Amino acid sequence: MTDPLVKICGLSTPETLDAALDAGAAMVGLVFFPKSPRNISIENASRLAERARGRAEIVALMVDPDDGLIDEVVERVKPDWLQLHGKETPERCARIKMRTGLKLMKALGVSEGSDIDAAMPYIGIVDRFLFDAKPPKGGEVPGGNGIAYDWSLLKELDLGVPVMLSGGLAPDTIAEALAISGVSAVDVSSGVERERGVKDENLIRAFIANAKRAGVGE
């Protein structure tokens, strides 16, 4: 058994960031999307990124960003990854990758098996897929909605690119999610919040501890 890779997304305070780092998060996510309750200023994000640098990989999440936002985040926050959580086409992803030289994680919404097929055109362009639940109808935020889907859709999925599971994860569901999906990497945001957009240090610690206890593989 090995520890799964855990990403805590939507962090915005030194205290919750430290809780994630101290508990062993491999990735920490900073959200740059004004409609999200987890949106963070570039100034604050830069401070948090410096605090995390060298201890975890820093992921900058954006939704259909323009080049100006990308350039500012890359220059000031210096993330290790860009997570694209909008309707970015494979061509747009390729241009962003060439522009920044950074690793790309493409988030795709899932509600049924055929949704996985949407990943195919991105193979060879992005460095990781994040499969999240599709947002509720009319929802303005593409992720972090606390919605689960059929995690077994990812079982034995081999796209030639690492896969991360998100959607409906929390301290009390992570062991089941790992067992059902068979993935080795997970992402959580709303599942470690005491209220929408407000992370809870104890829930972060519990999530990571339960993920490590469950493990992955034989």
Is 93 assigned a catalytic role?
A: no
Q: Is 86 left (phi over 0), alpha (psi -120 to 50) or beta?
A: beta
Q: Which of 62, 65, 59, 97 is nearest to 77 (CA)?
A: 59
- Helical H runs in 78-195? 90-100, 174-181
Is 67 assigned a catalytic role?
A: no
1 burial class (0-12, 13-18, 19+ CB within 10 angstroms)? exposed
Q: Coil, helix or strand for 130? A: strand
Q: Which of 3, 64, 67, 132 is catalytic?
A: 132
Q: What residues act catalytically?
A: 9, 132
